[in-house]
């Protein structure tokens, strides 16, 4: 069972200055599952992801304790931090097309990792754009700027960029808040494909999205785990905690 | 009731007052904006009118003759160009690189807060104080003597904090989300700066640097103490008349000496000197604006 754990979080605490926002949470994420994280605003969902790929280091005054292990390796002790970040694909809530060409947007990460062969780069760019369901729309204008795409296209570009470094874990942080329902459904289909190759952490405000996609879902509230369970329990008639039921049903604040 | 409904958007006293206030506000703001160009036009018009008898291209390339009572401003013109370019060649790289460190790398700790404080305060130090510092540091302590190099370094110290401040501002205008997107895919800070931050802030950075040209060209006090000289014999139109360890003439200093120290100068010559100085500064500013427009058109979001 241990071998199957992809991410292990042990008593993780995070404080910004003196204000603790994650109060010692412990959970595991298994290989190739879609792991849903739901919870209201301010429940430290995004901070959790930032701890995982250590971009939390960029926040002044952030103080992390406890351990996060990826494949058994403590993320705070890794020797190759940039390698760790490449292993984890990250999609932010708001689409970010970098102000470079579409091609460069996707080729950026491989280039940062030292890949220079044009043929390799081209095949990665095409493959990632295809995976993100964007290839057909942009294949004739790979030279135009990433920032000139529409919001939904930019979000798919962001996903393509997150895939470009061949991650083993893909984190999606409320990826659908800036895009329309049709595009959302297309990306959800993409995710169902991708789970064959990687573990997906899906942070979402839409409980129905977690219900549709996830295998297990964690309900975070104010930096604590209220409940972590299989989807049919969380979204069923009798989750363990009454608050889960109320939140999922939309009764609760 | 229906008759009232058709007149829902009629003028009431409140509405009339709103329109009136709107018109007054707009007029005041416009008048203040227009008032800005009046002094500029007046200064330019007055200077050019007084300078007219001496104003022609040969005035720039001629050397002063008859104890500076007649002739042109070439030694001062080329001296100013020397001073400005050498000082910026020193201060621009240091300033830009320091600003990149402060904005992109520096954590918010006491050391960097002190650097920030120092930058802000240095920018507010009067130029005469910089002059004294330059005199002590470069002329005497570093033994450069009264020379172009001392004067340029003094000007560099003077322009440095402003370059740092303006560069930081342009860097800060690049959205943080771009940086985070790069970090998330495993880019180092330097890779991020190279690929995304610098290409999108370079227009603002260059504009900030070029605007310091006018400041360096116009200052008199720092160079008067450290390297500018009353008179220096130079060939007409000679592009490299000075060695770096020599003193040089400069337009601002020349203007000061012509106006106050030399009796019997032809009346239009100081004005013509002022026009040349102003023209140099305006030309540089125009170049800065052109560059900014050109780079902004290539701006990418």
User: CATH no. for residue A36?
Assistant: 3.40.50.300
Q: For B7-21, write each residue's pLDDT tens digit.
A: 778 888 888 999 999
Taking CA atoms, what residue in A is nearest to B188? A82
Note whether residue A105 is domain-resident: no
Note whether residue A44 is domain-resident: yes
Query: Which residue has 């500018």 as its token pair?
Result: B228
For the cut 90, the answer to whether the pLDDT of residue A53 exceeds it is no
CB contact under 8 A, B185 and A108: yes
Note whether residue A107 is domain-resident: no
DSSP conformation class of A178: T
B107 inside 8 A of chain A by CB: yes
pLDDT, residue B21, reads 95
Q: For B252-269, write each residue's pLDDT tens digit.
A: 888 888 888 777 777 788
Listed residue (A244, A233, A230, A249) closest to A43, CA to CA: A244
Residues from chain B contacting residue A86 (CB–CB below 8 Å):
185-186
CB contact under 8 A, B184 and A90: yes
A145 and A100 in contact (C-beta within 8 Å)? yes
State phi, psi for A192 to the nearest 5 degrees.
Answer: -60, -35
Note whether residue A129 is domain-resident: no
Structural domain of A20: 2-96+169-249
Note whether residue A200 is domain-resident: yes
Note whether residue A156 is domain-resident: no
The alpha carbon of residue A96 is apart from the nearest alpha carbon of chain B, in Å, by: 7
d(CA A57, CA A54): 6
pTM of the model: 0.81
B150 and B228 in contact (C-beta within 8 Å)? no
Give A8's strand partners.
Answer: A28, A69
ipTM of this predicted complex?
0.84
Q: How many domains does chain A have?
A: 1
- Cβ burial B240-249 (10 Å sphere, 16+ → b, else e): ebbeeebbbb
Q: For B126-180, write each residue's pLDDT tens digit.
A: 888 888 888 888 888 877 878 888 888 998 988 999 999 999 999 999 988 899 8
The alpha carbon of residue B190 is apart from the nearest alpha carbon of chain A, in Å, by: 10
Please spell the DSSP secondary structure of A56-82, one letter per residue.
Answer: GGGSTTEEEEEEEEETTEEGGG-S-HH
CB contact under 8 A, A113 and B188: no
CB contact under 8 A, A108 and B187: yes
For the cut 70, the answer to whether the pLDDT of residue B212 exceeds it is yes
For the cut 60, the answer to whether the pLDDT of residue A184 exceeds it is yes
Residues from chain B contacting residue A164 (CB–CB below 8 Å):
185
């Amino acid at each position: 069972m241990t071998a199957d754990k992809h991410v292990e979080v042990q008593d993780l605490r995070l404080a910004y200055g003196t204000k603790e926002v994650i109060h010692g949470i412990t959970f595991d994420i298994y290989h190739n599952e879609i792991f849903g994280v739901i919870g209201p605003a301010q429940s430290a969902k995004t901070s959790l992801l930032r701890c995982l790929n250590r971009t939390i280091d960029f926040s002044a005054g952030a103080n992390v304790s406890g351990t996060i292990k990826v494949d058994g390796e403590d993320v705070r002790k890794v020797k190759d931090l940039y390698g760790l970040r490449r292993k984890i694909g990250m999609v932010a809530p708001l689409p970010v097309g970098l102000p470079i060409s579409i091609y460069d947007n996707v080729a950026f990460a491989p280039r940062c990792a030292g890949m220079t062969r044009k043929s390799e780069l081209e095949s990665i760019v095409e493959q990632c754009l295809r995976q993100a369901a964007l290839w057909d729309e942009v294949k004739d204008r790979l030279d135009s700027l990433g920032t000139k795409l529409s919001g939904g296209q930019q979000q798919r570009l962001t996903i393509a960029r997150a895939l470009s470094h061949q991650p083993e874990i893909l984190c999606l942080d409320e990826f659908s808040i800036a895009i329309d329902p049709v595009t959302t459904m297309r990306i959800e289909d993409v995710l169902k494909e991708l789970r064959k190759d990687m573990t997906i952490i899906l942070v979402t405000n839409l409980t129905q999205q977690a219900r549709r996609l996830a295998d297990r879902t964690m309900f975070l509230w104010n930096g604590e785990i209220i409940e972590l369970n299989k989807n049919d329990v969380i979204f069923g008639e009798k989750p363990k905690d009454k608050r889960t039921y109320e939140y999922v049903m939309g009764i609760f604040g | 009731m229906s008759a009232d409904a058709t007149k829902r958007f009629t003028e009431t006293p409140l509405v009339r007052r709103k329109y009136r206030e709107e018109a007054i506000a707009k007029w005041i703001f416009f008048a203040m904006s227009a008032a800005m160009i009046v002094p500029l036009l007046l200064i330019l018009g007055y200077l050019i009118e007084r300078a007219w008898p001496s104003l022609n291209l040969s005035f720039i390339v001629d050397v002063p003759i008859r104890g500076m009572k007649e002739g042109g401003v070439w030694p001062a013109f080329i001296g100013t160009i020397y001073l400005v370019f050498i000082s910026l060649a020193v201060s621009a790289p240091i300033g830009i690189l320091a600003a990149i460190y402060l904005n992109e790398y520096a954590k918010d700790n006491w050391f960097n807060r002190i650097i920030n404080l120092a930058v802000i305060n240095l920018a507010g130090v009067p130029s005469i104080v910089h002059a004294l510092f330059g005199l002590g540091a470069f002329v005497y302590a570093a033994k450069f003597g009264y020379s172009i190099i001392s004067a340029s370094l003094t000007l560099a110290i003077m322009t440095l904090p402003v370059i740092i401040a303006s560069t930081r501002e342009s860097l800060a205008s690049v959205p943080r989300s771009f940086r985070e997107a790069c970090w998330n895919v495993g880019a180092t800070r330097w890779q991020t700066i190279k690929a995304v931050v610098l290409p999108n802030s370079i227009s603002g950075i260059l504009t900030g640097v070029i605007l310091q040209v006018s400041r360096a060209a116009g200052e008199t006090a720092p160079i008067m103490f450290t390297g500018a000289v009353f008179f220096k014999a130079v060939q007409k139109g000679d592009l490299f008349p000075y060695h770096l360890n020599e003193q040089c003439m400069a337009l601002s200093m020349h203007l000061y000496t012509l106006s106050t120290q030399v009796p019997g100068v032809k009346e239009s010559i100081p004005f013509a000197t002022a026009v040349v100085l102003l023209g140099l500064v305006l030309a540089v500013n125009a170049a800065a604006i052109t560059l900014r427009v050109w780079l902004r058109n290539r701006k990418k979001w």
